[in-house]
């Protein structure tokens, strides 16, 4: 009863609890929070205190002294550290609900990878409940991404969406508010970073950090050979000498480094196209595949997929926020048409 009363004063939230970034969409307000899913913890006399969350904590990643640990509590799209995730969610929910003199108790819709197991889903649900959510709905990411991109999911026509996130890549074919086929692989932006790190270690015997790898990916990362060559300077520890050294990396090398994860993504897309019913396949072929998620920002990824699948591929507007916006829209649809619009998992 008391929770419900508190709920009146809380906004409904849609949370994209991603491996790399957590986004919160508030009904009627839009995206209000977009921060890295990183938590920094200070250990003081055997008790753990949260030192920083979000952007601040991300800056600490890999640069912390002994008593501080910067953790990414999400891995491969699911919870790796339950309590820290709960604390992080709590922090974010409070941040969204500032100026409240009591604890917020919102209804929360969380996007989960379609390949996540029951245990993983339950962990997400419980951590949200622990963070103060009154009711927790779970929606599968391809569905949220498609809604957020503005695809006609409620119509009797197939729409194919490819969401390349930080930890997972999800491909979904949707029709009539439901998922006809979905596939999730645990390859995403993080794997790209790893691939770059490995490549540089192999070819230059130099060790670089995750943050540097991410920077390289953003600056000169490319998924398809370009007529222009881009270069960037990288500083890392030379393994032979043990001293930080500078090296120059060009976009073709990064492309080579990314071949493996990119090939997995392409084969997943092809696999999905193979398995869907022919009617939906023809719908997809006519309209094309929509790319969302941070991975859609990788240069020429659309060109790669176009060449590989021979289908039109388009990048959604503002691909990073598609999932969170789609979740928000789903909340509205629940409000309008009742919770049975989608095959949502509900738990209060």
In what helix (H) or strand (E) does residue 109 lie, and over which residues does it extend? strand 107-112
Would you put residue 106 in left (φ > 0), alpha (ψ -120 to 50) or beta? beta
Would you put residue 88 in left (φ > 0), alpha (ψ -120 to 50) or beta? alpha
In the complex, least distance from residue 148 CB atom to other proteins, rounded to whole angstroms: 10
In what helix (H) or strand (E) does residue 291 lie, and over which residues does it extend? strand 289-292
State the residues that interact with other proteins by CB under 8 A.
5, 8, 11, 27-28, 30, 149-152, 219-220, 224-232, 248, 250, 286-288, 290, 299-300, 302-303, 306, 310-317, 329, 332, 335
User: Closer CB to other proteins, residue 67 or residue 235?
Assistant: 235
User: Closer CB to other proteins, residue 180 or residue 314?
Assistant: 314
d(C-alpha 74, C-alpha 22), whole Å:
10
In the complex, least distance from residue 222 CB atom to other proteins, rounded to whole angstroms: 8
User: Closer CB to other proteins, residue 121 or residue 329?
Assistant: 329
User: Closer CB to other proteins, residue 149 or residue 265?
Assistant: 149
Would you put residue 242 in left (φ > 0), alpha (ψ -120 to 50) or beta? left
In the complex, least distance from residue 102 CB atom to other proteins, rounded to whole angstroms: 15
In the complex, least distance from residue 315 CB atom to other proteins, rounded to whole angstroms: 7
In the complex, least distance from residue 84 CB atom to other proteins, rounded to whole angstroms: 32
Contact 331, 124 (CB under 8 A): no
Exposure of 205 by Cβ count < 10 A (0-12 exposed, 13-18 middle, 19+ buried)?
A: middle
User: Closer CB to other proteins, residue 241 or residue 317?
Assistant: 317
Contact 93, 104 (CB under 8 A): yes
């Amino acid at each position: 009863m008391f929770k419900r009363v508190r709920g009146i004063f809380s906004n409904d939230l849609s949370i994209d609890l991603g491996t790399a970034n957590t986004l919160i969409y508030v009904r009627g307000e839009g995206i209000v929070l977009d921060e890295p899913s990183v938590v920094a913890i200070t250990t003081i006399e055997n008790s753990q205190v949260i030192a920083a969350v979000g952007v601040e904590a991300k800056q600490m990643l890999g640069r912390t002294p002994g008593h501080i640990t910067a953790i990414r509590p999400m891995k491969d799209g699911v919870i790796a550290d339950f309590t820290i995730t709960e604390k992080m969610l709590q922090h974010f929910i409070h941040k969204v609900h500032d100026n409240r003199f009591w604890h917020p108790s919102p209804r929360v819709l969380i996007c989960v990878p379609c390949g996540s197991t029951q245990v993983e889903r339950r962990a997400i649900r419980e951590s949200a409940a622990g963070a103060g959510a009154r009711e927790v709905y779970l929606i599968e990411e391809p569905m949220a991404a498609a809604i957020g991109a503005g695809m006609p999911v409620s119509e009797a026509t197939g729409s194919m969406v490819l969401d390349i996130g930080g930890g997972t890549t999800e491909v979904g074919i949707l029709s009539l508010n439901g998922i006809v086929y979905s596939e999730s692989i645990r390859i995403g932006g993080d794997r790209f970073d790893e691939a770059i790190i490995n490549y540089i270690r192999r070819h230059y015997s130099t060790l670089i950090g995750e943050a540097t790898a991410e920077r390289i990916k953003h600056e000169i990362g490319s998924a398809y050979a370009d007529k222009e060559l881009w270069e960037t300077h990288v500083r890392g520890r030379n393994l032979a000498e043990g001293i930080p050294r500078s090296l120059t990396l060009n976009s073709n090398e990064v492309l080579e480094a990314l071949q493996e994860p990119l090939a997995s993504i392409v084969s997943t897309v092809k696999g999905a196209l193979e398995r869907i019913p022919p009617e939906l396949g023809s719908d997809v072929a006519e309209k094309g595949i929509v790319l969302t998620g941070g991975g859609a920002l990788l240069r020429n990824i659309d060109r790669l997929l176009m060449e590989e699948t021979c289908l039109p591929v388009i990048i959604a507007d503002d691909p990073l926020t598609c999932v969170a916006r789609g979740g928000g829209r789903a909340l509205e649809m629940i409000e309008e048409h009742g919770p049975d619009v989608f095959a949502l998992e509900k738990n209060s």
